[in-house]
């Protein structure tokens, strides 16, 4: 559910120059999701099995996130060729981190400088000021990221999981309904995004601590609520213009 709301992934598709390549890109993205998720599970299984033998120390809490580094260090100790393979694994981690980070930063800066300033608040600014706002946005996000990473006991998985839920619940239903339901309008989309983002916090900090049947990942209930709110508000407000529905039909 989270993948439907990933802005940096949507930007990759929006940047495709040849529309004939969209189908191929969609297939590659779908296959890659299966591969990456499957490999992450295999890494966890391998790390658990190796730590059970005592070859590497048992990791718990936030330390369990370093299992790939522990396995790479173990692999590097087996010889030169294995050390090269371990280096490739660690380089891959850095490459994927940099790729995701630059896409997220680009999405955030463009959203503030273009979508928020011009499309939402209708503030017309020239390219120079737009660039300045983008740079300021990047600096603010960088400071926040450093602040979050400063805590040595913080869990990357916990932070990413919470952000993943927020993206999925806020933007996921909006993207799906925009693609498959022509009756969806801007008011339904806006209401769905707001309700999805709010419900992530509600379920995370108020409902989930109750335990029992409420102890589920907050993305699922927040996604469903956002989807329902989007549909209900869209039906209660005016339908999109004929121009938009014609464009929907043509696509």
184-217 confidence digits (pLDDT tens)? 998 999 999 999 999 999 999 999 988 888 889 9
Predicted pLDDT of residue 187: 93
Is the CB of residue 245 less than 8 Å from the CB of residue 182?
A: yes
* CB proximity list for 236: less than 8 A, separation 6 or greater: none
Residue 12 maps to a domain: no
Q: How confident is the model at residue 142, as a pLDDT?
A: 83
Residue 159 domain-assigned?
Answer: yes
Kindly state whether residue 247 falls inside one of the protein's structural domains: yes
187, part of any domain: yes
Determine the Cα–Cα distance for residues 163 and 7; give it in Å rounded to an integer: 12
User: Is 33 within 8 Å of 27 (Cβ atoms)?
Assistant: no
The pLDDT, as a whole number, for residue 224 is: 95
The model's pLDDT over 222-250, given as tens digits with 9 standing for 90+, comes to 999 999 999 999 999 998 888 888 877 87
Residues 157/60, Cβ–Cβ less than 8 Å: no
130-185 pLDDT, tens digit each? 888 888 988 898 888 888 777 766 777 788 888 888 888 998 899 889 888 889 99
3-state helix, strand, coil in the chain (%, to 5): 80, 0, 20
Number of helices (H), then strands (E), belonging to the chain: the values are: 9, 0
Arithmetic mean of pLDDT, 8-30: 77
Cα 169 to Cα 41, 69, 75, 86, 208, distances in angstroms: 24, 32, 39, 37, 16
Q: Model-level pTM?
A: 0.75
**Which band of pLDDT confidence, cut at 50, 70 and 90, is reported for residue 100?**
confident
Between the two ends of the chain, the Cα-to-Cα distance in Å is 23
Tokens of 138: 């990047």
Using an 8 Å Cβ cutoff, are 188 and 230 in contact? yes
Predicted confidence (pLDDT) at residue 27 exceeds the cutoff of 80: yes
User: Rounded to the nearest 10 degrees, what angle do helices 156-180 and 219-236 cross at?
Assistant: 30
Is 47 in contact with 71 (CB distance < 8 Å)? Answer: yes
Residue 174 contacts residue 13 (beta carbons within 8 Å): no
pLDDT of residue 232: 96
Coil/strand/helix, residue 167: helix
For residue 136, being part of any structural domain is answered with no
Q: Is residue 26 part of a domain?
A: no
Single out the residue of 220, 170, 224, 177 nearest to residue 198, CA to CA: 170
User: Residue 152: its pLDDT value, please?
Assistant: 67
pLDDT tens for residues 112-133?
A: 877 778 777 777 878 888 888 8
Q: How many domains does the chain have?
A: 1
Average pLDDT, integer, range 1-12: 71
| Domain region containing 202 | 155-251
What's the confidence (pLDDT) of residue 233?
A: 95
231 vs 16, 120, 188, CA distance in Å? 30, 22, 6
Locate 42 and state its tokens: 């295999």
pLDDT, averaged across the chain? 84
Residue 165 tokens read as 């839920």
Q: Which residues contact 68 (CB under 8 A, 6 or more apart)?
A: 43, 47, 89, 93
The answer to whether position 216 is within a domain reads yes
90-113: average pLDDT: 82
**Quick one: CA dihedral 180, 186, 191, 193, positive or negative?**
positive
Report whether 117 contacts 123 (CB < 8 A).
Answer: yes
For residue 70, being part of any structural domain is answered with no
Q: What percent of the chain has pLDDT over 90?
A: 20
């Amino acid at each position: 559910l989270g993948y439907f709301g990933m802005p940096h992934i949507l930007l990759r598709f929006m940047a495709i120059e040849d529309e004939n390549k969209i189908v191929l890109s969609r297939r590659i993205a779908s296959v890659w999701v299966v591969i990456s998720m499957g490999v992450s599970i295999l890494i966890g299984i391998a790390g658990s099995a190796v730590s059970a033998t005592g070859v590497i120390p048992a990791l718990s809490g936030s330390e369990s996130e370093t299992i790939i580094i522990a396995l790479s260090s173990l692999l590097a100790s087996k010889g030169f060729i294995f050390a090269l393979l371990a280096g490739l694994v660690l380089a891959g981690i850095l490459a994927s981190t940099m790729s995701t980070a630059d896409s997220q930063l680009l999405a955030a800066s463009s959203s503030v400088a273009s979508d928020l300033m011009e499309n939402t608040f209708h503030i017309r600014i020239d390219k120079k000021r737009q660039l300045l706002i983008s740079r300021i946005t990047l600096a603010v996000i960088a400071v926040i990221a450093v602040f979050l990473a400063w805590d040595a006991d913080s869990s990357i998985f916990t932070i990413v999981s919470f952000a993943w839920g927020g993206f999925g619940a806020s933007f996921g239903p909006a993207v799906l309904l925009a693609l498959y339901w022509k009756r969806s309008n801007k008011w339904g989309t806006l209401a769905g995004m707001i309700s999805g983002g709010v419900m992530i916090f509600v379920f995370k900090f108020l409902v989930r601590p109750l335990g029992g049947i409420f102890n589920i990942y907050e993305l699922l209930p927040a996604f469903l609520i956002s989807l329902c709110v989007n549909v209900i508000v869209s039906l209660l407000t005016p339908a999109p213009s004929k121009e938009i529905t014609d464009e929907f039909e043509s696509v």
